[in-house]
A = this chain, B = another copy of it.
Amino acid sequence: MARKRKTHRRYSSKAGLPPGTLVLIGNHREEPISIELIDYSGDVHNEQEVVDVSVLKDSLQTSTVSWVNIHGIHNTDAIDAIGKVYNIHNLVLEDILNTDHRPKVEPFEDYVFFTMRMMWYNDENELEKEQISIVFGKPYVLCFQERRGDIFDPIRERIRTDSGLIRRKGTDYLVYRLIDSVVDNYFIITERIEERIEDLEEAITADSDGDHMMVIQHMKREIITLKRALLPLREAVSGLEKGVTELVDPSNAKYFRDVYDHLIQIADNLETNREVLSGLMDMHVANMSNRMNQVMKVLTVIASLFIPLTFIAGIYGMNFDNMPELHWEHGYFYAWGLMIVVFISMLIYFKQKRWF
C-alpha cells in the first residue's frame, strides 16, 4: 500500500521557466490526442473528428453551440494551437496542462475557465484522478480531458437523440451537464467508502489482530485527497451560481445551485466518514490493548498460581538433617493437601476479583 514514487513530470521541472511556458505537469501518455467537435442547436446536430484546428475557427462563426472535446493534453503544440483559435490567455493554457491544479473558476472578458478533478476507483480499488478543464465562451465549450473516457457518453446520446432540454439550452446548460456528470462520480465514491467502512467495522469487531491501522490510515488519506478536490470545486460551482460571469444565464443558476447542493452533501458524507473512521481507530486501539490485557492477565495469573506452589515444593526439597515433616508417614500427602488448598484459595480470590 506504499505510495508509488510518482514518475510524471513535476513542478520542479518548471521552476525558473518564464510564466506562460507550456509544460505538461503530469503523466505523458502514448496515445495521440484527439479532438471531437459536436455542433448543435435546436435543429442542427453535427459530430466530427477534428484534424485541422481551422475547422474549429469556422465553427465559431455559426450560431450553434460548439462542444469541443480534447482527449489528451500531452501534445502542447496542439493545445497551443487551440488556445490561439479561441484567443485564450497563456496562463490559462498553462493551468490546463497542469494536471495537479486545484479546482477553480476564473472569469475572463469573453470566456470562463473552469477546472476540476474527476475521481474514481480503478479495478485495483485505488483512487484515480483525472483533471478536466472547461473553457466556455459565447458559442463554444472546450473540454480538456487527460484521456478518452466514457463519462460524457450519456450527454452525447441526449444531444444526438434530442431528448431532454439540452438542445434547447445554451452553453451554460452544457457546462452544467458536464460538471454534474463529474460530481455524480463522487457520490459513487462516497458510497464505496461507506461500504468499505462497514466492512472494516465488522472486521475490527471480529478480529483485533488484523492490520486495521494501515487500512484506516489509507482510507483517511483517501478522504483527505477527496476533500482537497471537493472543497475548491464547491467554491468554483458556487461562483458560477452566484454570477461571476454573465455567460451563465440567471435562469439557469438553479442548475448550478443543484450541483452545489450535491457537493455540500458529498462533503458532509466525507466528513461523517472521517469522524466514523476516527471512532473506528479509537475502537481498534482499545480492542488491541484490551486483548493484550486479556492475554497478559491470564498468563500472569498462571504464573502467580504456581510460584507459591513451587516454593512449597522447594521447601521440602531441602536437605536439612532435621526436617520433621519429611518423616511423617503422610507428610507427602499433607504437602499435596497444602498445595491444593493454596491453589484453590488463590483461584477463588482471583476469580472473585474477576481477574480472569
- A interface with B by C-beta (< 8 Å): 2-3, 5, 10-12, 14-20, 89, 91, 95, 100-102, 104, 106, 154, 158, 163-166, 176-177, 180-181, 184-185, 187-188, 191, 195, 198, 201-202, 205, 209, 213-214, 217, 220-221, 224-225, 228, 254-255, 257-258, 261, 264-265, 268, 272, 275-276, 279-283, 285-290, 292-293, 295-297, 299-304, 306-311, 313-323, 325-332, 335, 353-355
Contacts and interface: CB of A to CB of B under 8 A. Distances in A.
Nearest to A1: B205
13 contacts: A18-B177, A19-B180, A102-B265, A213-B287, A217-B283, A221-B275, A285-B286, A292-B296, A292-B297, A295-B300, A310-B314, A318-B332, A322-B331
Contacts of A325: 320
A2 B205 contact: yes
Number of copies: 5
B332 A323 contact: yes
Contact of A188 (B12, B165, B176, B300): B12
A46 to B, nearest CB: 21
A interface, over-half SS: helix
A257 B355 CA distance: 56
B321 A326 contact: yes
B187 A11 contact: yes
B307 A302 contact: yes
A300 B308 contact: no
A228 B276 CA distance: 13
Q: Considering residues A185, A228, A254, A318, which has the most beta carbons from chain B within 10 angstroms of its beta carbon?
A: A318
Contacts of A275: 220-221, 224
B224 A272 contact: yes
Nearest to A158: B18
A296 B268 CA distance: 43
Contact of A323 (B89, B221, B319): B319
A-B pairs with lowest CB-CB distance, top 4: A313-B314, A11-B187, A316-B318, A15-B184
A200 to B, nearest CB: 11
Contacts of A315: 313
A22 B104 CA distance: 30
A318 B307 contact: no
Contact of A276 (B154, B164, B221, B309): B221
Nearest to A346: B302
